[in-house]
């Protein structure tokens, strides 16, 4: 959605590097402000892809960078009857394919890995797990501190939480200052009603401070940097409002299809998979007011205010505000890929959307009248996540008789992936006797002049769980407010009589359905 350059933009944009102090830090200096408590990390669903691909590599990386406490245990649980050695061997195989393999470190790390077969629907199995943990913790003291990470299908969240509670694994030892925490991956329900039901299931045995609803987008360094950029720099916050900003564009494009997640994706689609969580969080960080202090609950209060300010969506006449699409066969990365309906496990007549573009408004003092364009889709031309802030054009065209062309407005782009950078475009005069303007770009690479440790999203999220820091996790009121906005849209889209006609096809490897153009037919809008 980059606007084309007008005629006065002659020549390529000038890249102006931003210098910064050379930061050379100790390997563990930026990992945590204080050491985390000793703890046991119990992964339910340890035989699944998430554990081998993300969780164990993240924990091993933290261990190598001294981000784990001195005393810790990692216990994998699953239906498969593995032994400790089988679990360790499988995890070693997964980590060998990633960066940072260190045999010596693995040997000392892997002796803290254990495995326990578990039936998620059997209370006795959880009672056995409780006894197993107690026995382990007598040899490796963790003071009763436990994290239960539910790397499970969402349908098992409620039963797992219930059985953890019945086995008294959710209890916190207040006298010994021991704690118990439960971590859930999105989705947090499939609509407002199911999200409330899930919360009720959790709250029967866990209190809100024990619940960590993870959204790995929030743990990305460049996403965290949005608040620092906005509120630690006095030159931007005064113009971060309706007086100076024309529109905001937030997009998260993916090249990948559904991979092996057809069962999940068929029942969710792009609105549940991306908009209810990731896209809403990016919106909140971009639009929220500054909290009085940088503390988890105060930051989450301001996010909730953004969700509360969302204008109710025009569900009975949404053609000008929402476009849904589904990818057809095409070429991605130079190779042919099948249509969504041809993917394994997908209904050949599926009406599940894989692309959505939406225009939303916030009814508050700061953003009244400023449209937010939010889009995300699978099998697009390239993987790209960014937030573009388009400023208004200059109020008076004093150069109109000189240039004979409109002047490009300033544009700020917060790049999240693949380029982790901040760019700002502005106008300057070309050298020479003739008055000609050109667009130049001030460009900051996020990792420029930094040589310290870099945490990936799961490393940061796991570290925050151990520290008990909720800053980057969803709070239930935010979950419900987000679903309250999206559920009427989902109901309207999934029950309308012409649902198939409103689902537009786009070729894999393209920019999405061409019908998305109609969202951008206003004076204040990006080009698709």
Question: Residue 8 has what pLDDT?
Answer: 42
Contact at 8 Å (CB) between 377 and 328?
Answer: no
> From the CB of residue 232, how many other CB atoms can be counted at a distance below 10 Å?
11
For the stretch 141-195, pLDDT in tens is: 898 899 999 999 999 999 999 999 999 999 987 655 589 999 999 889 999 999 9
Please, which residues have CB within 8 angstroms of residue 136's CB and are 6 or more apart in sequence? 40, 73, 75, 114
- Using a 10 angstrom Cβ sphere, with 0-12 exposed, 13-18 middle and 19 or more buried, the burial of residue 15 is exposed
Which residue of the set 278, 316, 349, 396 is catalytic? 278
Q: Measuring CA to CA, which residue among 109, 106, 198, 124 is closest to residue 156? A: 198
Contact at 8 Å (CB) between 183 and 149?
Answer: yes
Where would I find the H helices in 290-352? 296-309
Low-confidence ranges of the chain (pLDDT < 50): 1-29
What does the DSSP 8-state code read for residue 154? G
Question: Residue 450 has what pLDDT?
Answer: 73
Q: Is the pTM above the cut of 0.85?
A: yes
Question: Residue 393 has what pLDDT?
Answer: 87
End-to-end CA distance of the chain: 4
Averaged pLDDT of the chain: 88
- Identify the H or E element spanning 158: helix 157-166
How much of the chain exceeds pLDDT 90, in percent? 69
For the stretch 341-394, pLDDT in tens is: 999 999 999 999 999 999 999 999 999 999 999 999 999 999 999 999 999 988
Query: Parallel, antiparallel, or unpaired for β 355-360 and 372-377?
Result: antiparallel
Residue 447 catalytic?
no
Question: Residue 41 has what pLDDT?
Answer: 98
Structure tokens at 36: 């985390």
> From the CB of residue 50, how many other CB atoms can be counted at a distance below 10 Å?
16
Question: Residue 129 has what pLDDT?
Answer: 97
For the stretch 457-492, pLDDT in tens is: 899 999 999 999 999 999 999 999 999 999 999 999
């Amino acid at each position: 959605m980059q606007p084309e350059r007008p005629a006065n933009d002659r020549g390529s944009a000038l890249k102006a590097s931003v210098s910064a102090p050379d930061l050379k830090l100790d390997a563990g200096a930026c990992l945590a402000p204080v050491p985390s408590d000793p703890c046991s990390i119990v992964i339910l669903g340890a035989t699944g892809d998430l554990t081998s691909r993300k969780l164990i590599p993240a924990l091993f990386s933290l261990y190598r960078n001294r981000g784990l406490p001195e005393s810790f245990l990692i216990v994998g649980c699953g239906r498969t009857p593995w032994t400790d050695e089988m679990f360790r061997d499988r995890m070693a195989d997964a980590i060998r394919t990633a960066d940072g393999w260190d045999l010596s470190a693995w040997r000392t790390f892997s002796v803290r890995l254990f495995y326990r077969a578990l039936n998620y629907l059997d209370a006795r199995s959880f009672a056995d797990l409780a006894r197993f943990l107690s026995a382990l913790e007598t040899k490796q003291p963790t003071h009763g501190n436990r994290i239960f990470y539910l790397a499970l299908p969402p349908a098992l969240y409620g039963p797992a939480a219930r059985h953890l509670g019945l086995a008294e694994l959710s209890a916190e030892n207040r006298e010994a200052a021991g704690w118990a925490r439960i971590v859930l991956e999105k989705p947090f329900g499939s609509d407002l009603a199911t999200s409330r039901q899930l919360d009720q299931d959790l709250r029967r045995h866990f209190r809100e401070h024990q619940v960590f609803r993870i959204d790995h987008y929030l743990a990305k360094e460049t996403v965290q940097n949005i608040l620092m950029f906005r509120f630690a720099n006095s030159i931007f916050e005064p113009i971060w409002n309706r007086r100076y900003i024309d529109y905001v564009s937030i997009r998260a494009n993916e090249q990948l299809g559904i991979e092996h997640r057809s069962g999940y994706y068929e029942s969710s689609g792009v609105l549940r998979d991306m908009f209810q969580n990731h896209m809403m969080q990016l919106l909140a960080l971009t639009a929220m007011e500054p909290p009085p202090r940088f503390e988890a609950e105060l930051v989450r209060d301001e996010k909730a205010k953004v969700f509360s300010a969302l204008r109710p969506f025009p569900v009975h006449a949404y053609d000008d505000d929402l476009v849904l699409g589904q990818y057809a066969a095409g070429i991605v990365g130079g190779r042919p890929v099948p249509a969504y309906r041809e993917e394994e496990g997908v209904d050949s007549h599926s009406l599940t959307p894989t692309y959505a573009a939406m225009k939303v408004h916030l009814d508050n003092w700061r953003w009244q009248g400023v449209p937010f364009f939010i889009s995300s889709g699978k099998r697009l031309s390239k993987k790209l996540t960014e937030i573009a802030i388009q400023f208004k054009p200059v109020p008076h065209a004093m150069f109109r008789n000189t240039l004979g062309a409109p002047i490009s407005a300033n544009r700020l782009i917060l790049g999240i992936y693949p380029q982790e950078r901040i760019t700002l475009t502005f106008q300057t005069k070309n050298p020479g006797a003739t008055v000609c303007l050109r667009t130049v770009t001030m460009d900051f690479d996020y990792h420029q002049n930094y040589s310290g440790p870099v945490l990936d999203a799961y490393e940061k999220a796991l570290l925050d769980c151990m520290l008990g820091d909720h800053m980057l996790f969803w709070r239930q009121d935010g979950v419900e407010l987000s679903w309250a906005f999206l559920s009427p849209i989902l109901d309207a889209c999934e029950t309308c009589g012409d649902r198939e006609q409103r689902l537009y096809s786009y070729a894999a490897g393209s920019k999405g359905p061409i019908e998305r153009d109609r969202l951008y037919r206003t004076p204040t809008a990006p080009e698709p």
